[in-house]
Structure formats: C-alpha cells, structure tokens
Amino acid sequence: MMKKTASALAVAALMGTGAASAATFQVNDDTTLSLYGNVQIAYSDTNDASGDSVSDLQDNGTTIGVAVEHRFDNGLTGFARIEEDGYDAVEQAAETAATDQAYFGVRGDFGMVRLGNADSIYDGFVRDYWDYQEFLAPINGRRGVDHKDRQLLYMSPNFGGFSFGLEAQINGDADEATFELTQGGVNNGDNETGDVNGDDAGISLAAAAMYETGGLTVSAAIDQRSNEFVSAADAGSEGGPNHFDDPVMGIVVSYDFGRFTVDGGYQLDAADTDERAIGDVDVLSLGGRFNYGMGDLYGIVQEVGYDEENAAGNDSFTEVILGANYNIGSNFYVYAEYATYDQEEDANDGFAIGGLYSF
C-alpha cells in the first residue's frame, strides 16, 4: 500500500479526517462511526553504542482506533477520535498500550477547531516529510517538539491553494510538577516548579502555512515550545533553565511528479548551550519516493550540524536511509530498510525487514 504524500497526510490528520478505516458504520443519517487499526511487526539488526550487532523481533506500533463524525443542522460537522498505540504483537505478556491520540472538534466553512491530544502542527507541516520510513527513521535529523497533549488547534480552509494553522499547547502548574517528578526535568533553583522560563506555566504557541499549486508544495512552521522541558541529560552537570527558550522552525519544498516525489527542506532547532550542550542543531534534508507499480522505493539524506561538539568530539553527521516496500494486497505490505547514521563505532547502523496489515 503506497503511502500518501506528506502534505496530504498532514492536512487530513490535522483536519481530523486522516484515519484509513475498513469498517465504517452509518449510525443514522447524520452520524458515522469508524473502526480502524493495524498490526506491525519488524525484525531489525542494528549496532549498539559499542558497534556490536543487536537483533530483535518486535512490534512496530500496532494501533487500534475509533472515530466518529456527526453533521449538525447548522452545517457544521463535529468529530472525535480515540487512538490507542503500542499494542505488542510479539510479546504476549507485554503491557505497552497507551493513548496516542484523543480529541474532539468541529469543522465547517470557517475551517476547523480541535482540542485534545494529537500530532503537533509542526509535525504535520514539516517533520512528517522525513517520516515516510517504516522502522529506521532519522535520529539526529528529526527535530521538533515531542509533546502532543493539551493542544488547541485552528486550521484555516483552503484559499486557492493556501492554508494556515495556529496551535496553542497549554500547561498548568500541575502539569509542570508532574514532569519534574516523572520525566527528569531540570530545576536549577532559578525557577520554582510550575514556572516556565521564570514565568507562570502557560501557553506555548506554534504556527504553520502551506501553499500548493500543481505538483508543487511549499510548507513552513515554527514552534515556540516554551512548555518543553530541558532534560537533565541535555543540560549537563551544571544544570540549566527549566524550559527551552528558543524555537524550532523549518521549511519544506516538495514536488510530486506523479510516480516520483522529491522533498527538500531545512530545519533549525535553536537552543542555548545551557539548555543543550551542543547548542543549535541545523538539518538539511533531501528525500524522495518512487512508485514502481507494486510498491515504493524511497530514501533520505540528511546533513546534521551542531554549534558545539558532542561528547564524542563530533559536530556534524550525514544520515542515509534507503528502503523499499512491496504490496501483497491493498491493505498489506512488507518492506526492507537500511540506514547509516555516521556515528562513532557505526552506532545505530543496520537493517530492518517487516510488514504492516491495516484494517
């Protein structure tokens, strides 16, 4: 099953219409209920930090979800979704399921408003362009915020190919305290627990825009990420501020030739050295996907640069990931991937094979 282009996936997911479901039930004239999911299993053989080969047969993100839509008399459409991720298709006793997405919202001629836990707008407009691999995804080059919860999102309608979105990620004092206790956040004494960069816990803003014409798509986003904690590992032994005080931003230019798509982009993950020892991270990316009829051939090359050397004395890397998939059926495909990350001792280099069955 060939994946959609990144721009199509981004808009569909953010608008709350991105679930590929095999079972859709018409509850009544105005309400539909969809059940969907997938089973993913992969075998990998990659190097550890010492360069030793480590093999593993593992689940790769098995998911089950429920989505509902209801058309109101005023012309608006309400929607909601709950998606559980992390079911383990390999280990019977594993208990890894967790809520991946859960939200509700309303859309109409004005656009869409959504509240809950879902992929960030930066993901949809920039980061997901470099996420069409199945298992061996970019490591250093996949920048952006990891938080997905407490999001309020507005997406505009399409104005002749142009669309935009605004997002607020909302933290309260209780959320700050929970992170300090469970996630290893830094509290260096300058900020009380519950403060964001010295201010009361609050709102982190993000914005994105996209223009599409013919096969060309230009997409850009910026995330303030002022609610994202500095980890103890990033801050180092001297500590640092509780939160990042610099944004992450990126731009992507993509062209769809039909059976062949090319994506090029640049990302800047800004950070002072007291927030992260390596400082700013620059990422220049070039990727492509070719549909050969029964599947896709795909690959990505990323040049990653740090302001300061890391613990191993390096400040730049070249990541290369190549892959191919083959469609057994419309909802079932297998794949093989190879990756090299230009790390000391060839860490993380290796290959993976696997399959995905969706329903």
For the whole model, what pTM was predicted? Answer: 0.83
CA triple 333-338-342, angle to 5 deg: 150
Structure confidence at residue 89 (pLDDT): 87
Per this entry, what is the length of the chain?
A: 359
Q: Are 217 and 210 in contact (CB under 8 A)?
A: yes
- Asked if the model's pLDDT at residue 19 lies above 70, the reply is no
State percent of the chain over pLDDT 70.
76
Nearest to 197 by CA among 227, 160, 167, 173: 227
pLDDT tens per residue, range 36-87:
999 999 999 999 989 999 999 999 989 999 999 999 999 999 999 999 987 8
Nearest-angstrom CA–CA distance, 17 and 11: 8
pLDDT tens per residue, range 146-157:
557 789 999 999
124: left (phi over 0), alpha (psi -120 to 50) or beta: alpha
Structure tokens belonging to residue 98? 């967790």
What mean pLDDT do residues 5-34 have?
71
Q: Where are the domains of the chain?
A: 6-358
Q: The domain 6-358 is classified under which CATH number: 3.40.50.720, 3.10.20.30, 2.40.160.10, 2.60.120.10?
A: 2.40.160.10
Instruction: Determine which of 233-237, 242-246, 254-258, 293-297 has the lowest per-residue pLDDT on average.
Output: 233-237
- Asked if the model's pLDDT at residue 325 lies above 90, the reply is yes
Structure confidence at residue 179 (pLDDT): 47
Structure confidence at residue 16 (pLDDT): 61
Structure confidence at residue 91 (pLDDT): 84
pLDDT band at 231 (very low <50, low <70, confident <90, very high): low
